[in-house]
Structure 1
Amino acid sequence: MESGRSPARKASDLEGEMGPRGPSTAYFYLPLADALKMINVKVNLFAAVSEIREPKRSRGTDYVLTLKIRDQSYSAPGLSVNFFAESTTKLPHVRSTGDIISLHRVVMKIHNGEFYCVCNKKFSSFALFEGKTAESFRPYQASTEYKATDHDNEFLSQLRTWLLNYLHGAVLNEYSLQLNRIKIGHVFDLICKVLHLCETSNGEWVLFVWDGTDTPPVSFTMDLDNEGKTPSPLHVEEFSLSREVLHAFPRGGTVLRIFADKYFKEIPQLQGGGHWVKLCNIICELRSDMWKGVLQPSSKIHLLSDQDDTVLHRLKMYNDRITSNPKCQPFMSFPQPSDITDTDFRHAAFATLMDSLTYPEATHRCKCIVRVVAAYPWRAEDLRSPIDGHYRIRLTLEDPTTRIHAYVYREDGEKFFGGYPTNNVLASKMNMLLGITDGAGQACATRDPPWVWCCLKSYYLDKSNPWGTRRYRIFGTKLTG
């Protein structure tokens, strides 16, 4: 912030000149890079808030809040500021990262090589201003001791210009990934919305998070010959979610399950869902060929405002996606799904599996793009009943939003397989559908099934319990290969 510098002054002058009627026009703000050199000195700072942490009890009777700030001279990793007060009402209540804070008479410190500063409740003061494109020069919060200076407006304008020209891009390019770029074993940060939270029977917490993108499709390794005894699971959590919870989930994009075996103090604040967070140092792995996130002991949870730059950017990307890619067609199915299937309803509206699961009526018809995770039975000689010769197969289908079981039965099977071809032809069709590429067909082969179109209809077995007995069938769909 070169334009905000004043001629060099003695360290004792840096905390401001206080007269009987308030501060003089000589009040001096330091760029953060220069403040790092003033250990144990009271300084005045004007900077943008880059990170907001939750207030907590200090070791004494006070509450402590930590913010991170940055300016043109010191943008990464940012400078931590610790605020102390006897009640949380006296702490800063930052509306969003990217807002601007003015700090008077804070003390610079260093511990284990890390710089930070302390806002002392006895002699320090602060004021908060809107960032970015705001035009007002009035603070939306100020401590009772805060006194504005003659050149606050100049610093506000400089920082707002910088935020528009630089900080927005810098924030979005920090070390964080979206769900469509995750990798097994890779440690990363994730900015996401927590849709739901639950506790498992063994005391683990599960966070259901979403950022509007699709997790990468995985290659399947489950033994197909075990499908009869242990069907491929539909989710990684131990209990199925209620329809009420599913109704709150977006219809597009993956909802990733993130497990935490350690208690994080922020978890109670996430109850009820709808909170945007930054999850730091998380890792992803596969469970039953499904993505699962893990919060490690070193992980952190930072709550974000709905107006945070990164949150608004995620939402804009999702809105752009559903505008250019109607109804959230899976990313990995572009430009078109495989042509190994054809449907009778070419012009029917596309729906995700989550669209259908949350449909308000138990019976529903839709056209989806899915992958076939598994089949039972899957070998050609077992696809038809030995008693009546009818097809009866249970397929496990997935798209980026969820998994379901769907049945291929009787006349729908005739349509699906093109009548009753030989076992060799059936085997070839099943291998193609399941992504088995070795020709002979192996139960344990690594499989990468294609994305295919299919028509689905839901029905129920018991009229008195339609939702509890709801099932899916594939209809109007034919394997063309």
Structure 2
Amino acid sequence: MEAAAAAARERKRPREGDGAPSAVVAAGEAQYVYLPIADALKAPGARVCLFAAISEIGATVRSRGTDFTLTLRIADQSRPAGISVTFFADNTALLPYVRSGGDVISLHNVVITMHGEFFVTFNKKFSSFALFEGRESTKCSPYQSSMKYHGSKHDNELLNQMRIWLTYNPPGMKDLELQLRSLKADTTFDLVCKVLHVHENNGEWIFYVWDGTDTPAAEFQAILDAEAVESSPLHLEGAPPPREVLCTMPCVGTVLRVFANRFFKEVFHLQKNIYWARFCNISCKQEFGIWKGMLSPSSRLRLLSHEDASVVDRLKIYDSRIANQVHRQPMASLLEASNVSDVEYETAGYTTLMESLTHEQVTHKFKTLVRVVAAYPCRASELRLLLTGSFCLRLTLEDPTARIHAYVHKDDGAKFFGGFLTAEALIKKMNKLLGIPEENEEGVPLIRNPPWIWFCLKSYRLDKNDPWGSRRYRVFGTEIRD
């Protein structure tokens, strides 16, 4: 009798791949037994139920067969580092659509698999899922669930416990998550941003990313040589994007160029100009005063929903910013009231350089707030010739959205500088434009920090047969104060 009973118990015990459900029935209702992830890993091949937080969201791609597949990374108290879950479905509508990183997922009858490392497999024939809001919420009902999913009365208690844990342990969030306005050089961090454009050139990928804020204004190391401030590139990537691409980009907020020397599978999604993403383990540096993002071999890309909490926060900041005319101005300029220049268009509204570059007309006039990062020529002898009408002065102007060259034509030189000045007075004004300090402590590197200056600019064309390609900018109605 004992042997028969033992044999019966053995027949009821779940075996690897035998299809046994991870639930028991009590009083006519299924009661699912949820395992901590760490315990589930001890039962490879068996069906298990998990209740965990979503720390990373992958891209939806077509599998080698006819299915679509999606990979999420989930975590709980037992395994904060998490584990990957791979979903398969006949069409994308049957896959989980996660609103935000940190949301909670309930998984029924998934299988722990191992190929080099442990991961969870969702079988479309017998597995099921439900998605819940992870942030503090009174809602305990799922915002998405698969057809075969059936919850139990104890799920709400588990959900509340998970939300409490998430309050103090947001999964996947690094201690250092920055916005473009707070970039730091030589630091590794995460960046949440919208990918506006992706460009590939000889195996190098360039991501054009934006979050609605401005990168910090750069300081320049000034070498006591005029050539140090005579030239500065307008673009890190050589040629700018085509005009049709440029016109799709926001006119307020910096578009950061992020460079990578390897392919990411998420590129195909990011090329559509609709996705936000988390760039994990990214670093930045400045080249010629322009911020440059860099992806290393350890960097990763994670697609984000428009409903992700980080995305929603950034869009709120941007909406608040563009609703106020002053807040549309460069963030760094709000702390520095510029009184360097007098302009004719005193009452005109503010226009960013990107707004001008994407203006529907080639020729137009506008008032803008910029810094002079370079000038040519800037030697005293040549500047004196400028006042006599022998030279044209080229200024390199920047704001958080773009850099351009703008010219002070030879017949406007005296007006721009405020009269026919001595060589010494000219150099003093040029130093003010470029942010070169009047005095510098001996032994300390000379640093220049160009001030924010109001300029009136007009655009014009050199060739009527190529109006956009031959467009130039000219300074007018602007005088530099003493």
The TM-score, its normalising length taken from structure 2, stands at: 0.82
CA distance in 1, matches of 2:331, 2:386: 41
From 107, 126, 141, give the equivalent of 2:145. 141
Map of 1:66 onto structure 2: 71
One-letter amino acid of the structure 2 residue matched with residue 279 of structure 1: F
Map of 2:4 onto structure 1: none
One-letter amino acid of the structure 1 residue matched with residue 455 of structure 2: C
CA distance in 2, matches of 1:23, 1:451: 73
Q: How far did residue 412 of structure 1 move?
A: 2.9
Map of 2:479 onto structure 1: 478
Q: How far did residue 99 of structure 1 move?
A: 4.0
CA distance in 2, matches of 1:227, 1:470: 26
Aligned residue runs from structure 1 range 207-246, under 5 A:
207-221=207-221, 225-226=226-227, 231-246=231-246
From 42, 45, 49, give the equivalent of 1:44. 49
Q: How far did residue 255 of structure 1 move?
A: 0.5
In the TM superposition, what whole-angstrom CA distance separates every residue of 1:142-164 from its partner, at most 9, and x where no partner exists? 154x33324445655x379759x
CA distance in 2, matches of 1:410, 1:450: 24
From 74, 80, 85, give the equivalent of 1:82. 85
Which stretch of structure 1 is more off in the superposition, 216-225 or 265-274? 216-225
Map of 2:22 onto structure 1: 15
CA distance in 2, matches of 1:251, 1:182: 20
In the TM superposition, what whole-angstrom CA distance separates every residue of 1:436-471 from its partner, at most 9, and x where no partner exists? 12569xxx9542211111111111223333222211
Q: Would the alpha carbon gap of residues 60 and 348 (structure 1) be closer, same or farther in structure 2, given more than 3 Å must change?
A: closer
Q: How far did residue 125 of structure 1 move?
A: 2.8
| Contact 1:52/1:94, CA 8 A, preserved across alignment | no
Map of 1:104 onto structure 2: 108
In the TM superposition, what whole-angstrom CA distance separates every residue of 1:276-312 from its partner, at most 9, and x where no partner exists? 0001111112223311111111111111111111101
Q: How far did residue 192 of structure 1 move?
A: 0.4
CA distance in 2, matches of 1:88, 1:290: 44
| Contact 1:188/1:280, CA 8 A, preserved across alignment | yes
CA distance in 2, matches of 1:396, 1:43: 63
Map of 1:191 onto structure 2: 192
| Contact 1:227/1:377, CA 8 A, preserved across alignment | no
Q: How far did residue 115 of structure 1 move?
A: 7.6
CA distance in 2, matches of 1:355, 1:391: 29
Identity %: 45
Q: How far did residue 126 of structure 1 move?
A: 1.9
CA distance in 2, matches of 1:290, 1:28: 55
Unaligned runs of 5+ in 1: 1-10
| Contact 1:391/1:408, CA 8 A, preserved across alignment | no
One-letter amino acid of the structure 1 residue matched with residue 199 of structure 2: C
1:454 partner SS:
strand
Aligned residue runs from structure 1 range 253-332, under 5 A:
253-324=253-324, 326=326, 328-332=328-332
Q: Would the alpha carbon gap of residues 130 and 466 (structure 1) be closer, same or farther in structure 2, given more than 3 Å must change?
A: same
Map of 2:337 onto structure 1: 337
One-letter amino acid of the structure 1 residue matched with residue 187 of structure 2: H
| Contact 2:387/2:414, CA 8 A, preserved across alignment | no
Q: Would the alpha carbon gap of residues 83 and 172 (structure 1) be closer, same or farther in structure 2, given more than 3 Å must change?
A: closer
Q: Would the alpha carbon gap of residues 264 and 162 (structure 1) be closer, same or farther in structure 2, given more than 3 Å must change?
A: same
Q: Would the alpha carbon gap of residues 100 and 460 (structure 1) be closer, same or farther in structure 2, given more than 3 Å must change?
A: same
Q: How far did residue 116 of structure 1 move?
A: 5.8
CA distance in 2, matches of 1:82, 1:351: 48
CA distance in 1, matches of 2:178, 2:200: 26
One-letter amino acid of the structure 2 residue matched with residue 474 of structure 1: V
Aligned residues: 455
Q: How far did residue 107 of structure 1 move?
A: 5.1
Map of 2:9 onto structure 1: none
| Contact 1:17/1:23, CA 8 A, preserved across alignment | no
Aligned residue runs from structure 1 range 374-413, under 5 A:
374-385=374-385, 389-390=389-390, 392-413=392-413
1:414 equivalent to 2:414? Answer yes
- State the superposition RMSD in angstroms: 3.6
| Contact 1:390/1:409, CA 8 A, preserved across alignment | no
The TM-score, its normalising length taken from structure 1, stands at: 0.82
One-letter amino acid of the structure 1 residue matched with residue 481 of structure 2: T
Q: How far did residue 169 of structure 1 move?
A: 8.1
Which stretch of structure 1 is more off in the superposition, 245-254 or 378-387? 378-387
| Contact 1:286/1:292, CA 8 A, preserved across alignment | yes
Map of 1:458 onto structure 2: 459
Aligned residue runs from structure 1 range 143-222, under 5 A:
144=148, 146-152=149-155, 155=158, 158=160, 162=164, 166=167, 174-200=175-201, 202-221=202-221
From 96, 109, 112, give the equivalent of 1:93. 96
Q: Would the alpha carbon gap of residues 15 and 136 (structure 1) be closer, same or farther in structure 2, given more than 3 Å must change?
A: closer
Q: Would the alpha carbon gap of residues 359 and 62 (structure 1) be closer, same or farther in structure 2, given more than 3 Å must change?
A: closer
| Contact 1:81/1:119, CA 8 A, preserved across alignment | no
1:127 equivalent to 2:130? Answer yes
Unaligned runs of 5+ in 2: 1-12, 15-19
Map of 1:5 onto structure 2: none
One-letter amino acid of the structure 2 residue matched with residue 27 of structure 1: Y
CA distance in 2, matches of 1:199, 1:125: 39
CA distance in 2, matches of 1:385, 1:351: 32
